[in-house]
Amino acid sequence: MTAQSPVRWSDPEQQELEERVAATELAWLTMDVDVQTLRVEIDNFALIHHQLLGPLYTRLDELDALIAEAVAARTGHPEDVRRAADARRQVDELPDLESLFADIQEQEAAAAPPEPPTRVRPGKEAQRIYRDLARRAHPDLSTDPAEQRRRSAFIARVNEAYAYGDAKALAQLAEEWSTDPEAAPAVDSPDRLAWLRQRLEWLGGKIAEVAAEQVRLENTAMGELLALSPQDPDRLLEELAEQLLAKAAAQQAELERLLAAPAGRPVDDRTENPTQETQTMFPQIPSIDAAAVPADAVLLDVREQDEWDAGHVDGARHIPIGEVVARIGELPDAKLYVLCRVGGRSAQVVQYLVQQGLDAVNVDGGMFAWEGAGRPMVGTGGAEAFVL
Is residue 363 within 8 A of residue 290, CB to CB? The reply is: yes
Question: Is 273 domain-assigned?
Answer: no
Question: Is 169 domain-assigned?
Answer: yes
The verdict on whether 193 is a catalytic residue reads no
Q: What's residue 119's pLDDT?
A: 52
CATH of the domain at 343: 3.40.250.10
State percent of the chain over pLDDT 70.
80
Question: Is 254 domain-assigned?
Answer: no
Report how many domains make up the chain.
2
Cβ-Cβ contacts under 8 Å for 210 (sequence gap 6 or more): 28, 31, 32, 35
User: What's the average model confidence in pLDDT over 337-364?
Assistant: 86
**Which tens digits make up the pLDDT trace of 110-142?**
555 545 445 567 788 888 888 888 888 888 877
Do residues 208 and 299 both lie within one domain? no
**Which tens digits make up the pLDDT trace of 28-86?**
888 988 898 888 888 888 888 888 888 888 888 888 888 887 777 666 677 877 787 78
Quickly state the pLDDT bin for 179 (edges 50, 70, 90).
very low
pTM score: 0.49
Q: End of a domain among 182, 197, 230? A: 230
**Which tens digits make up the pLDDT trace of 196-209?**
888 788 788 889 98
| Catalytic entry in 33, 56, 196, 340 | 340
Do residues 219 and 300 both lie within one domain? no
User: What's the average model confidence in pLDDT over 143-153?
Assistant: 82
Q: Give residue 79's domain range.
A: 12-101+114-230
Q: End of a domain among 230, 250, 272? A: 230
Is residue 286 within 8 A of residue 360, CB to CB? The reply is: yes
Q: What's residue 293's pLDDT?
A: 93
Quickly state the pLDDT bin for 359 (edges 50, 70, 90).
very high
Question: Is 249 domain-assigned?
Answer: no
